[in-house]
Amino acid sequence: MKILVDADACPVKELIIKIAKENDLKVIMVIDNSHILESSYAEIKIVDRSRDSADFAIINILEKGDIVVSQDYGLASIALSKGCYAMNNNGYEYTAENIDKLLFERHLNKKTREAGLRHKGPSKRTADNNISFEKGFRVLINRLKK
The β-bridge partners of 4 are 28, 68
pLDDT (average), residues 24-29 = 98
Please state, in angstroms and rounded to a whole number, the distance separating the CA atoms of residues 101 and 97.
8
What CATH number has the domain bearing residue 16? 3.40.50
Q: At 67, which helix (H) or strand (E)? A: strand 67-69
Pick from 34, 40, 42: nearest CA to 16: 42
Q: What pLDDT score was predicted for residue 128?
A: 93
Please state, in angstroms and rounded to a whole number, the distance separating the CA atoms of residues 87 and 125.
16
In a domain, 91, yes or no: yes
Residue 16 has pLDDT above 80, yes or no: yes
4 pLDDT band, cuts 50/70/90, is very high
In a domain, 54, yes or no: yes
In a domain, 103, yes or no: no
In a domain, 115, yes or no: no
In a domain, 113, yes or no: no
The β-bridge partners of 45 are 30
Percent above pLDDT 70 for the chain: 96
> pLDDT per residue over 92-140, tens digit each?
999 988 777 877 776 677 777 778 877 676 678 899 999 999 999 999 9
Q: What pLDDT score was predicted for residue 1?
A: 94
Q: What pLDDT score was predicted for residue 121?
A: 66
Please state, in angstroms and rounded to a whole number, the distance separating the CA atoms of residues 56 and 54.
5
Which residue range(s) make up the domain with 48?
Answer: 2-96+126-145
Q: What pLDDT score was predicted for residue 106?
A: 67
In a domain, 138, yes or no: yes
Residue 61 has pLDDT above 80, yes or no: yes
In a domain, 109, yes or no: no
Q: What pLDDT score was predicted for residue 112?
A: 75
Highest mean pLDDT among 30-34, 83-87, 114-118: 83-87
Helix (H, G, I), strand (E, B) or coil at 69: strand
Q: Tally the domains of the chain.
A: 1
Q: What pLDDT score was predicted for residue 119?
A: 67
In a domain, 104, yes or no: no
pLDDT (average), residues 61-79 = 94
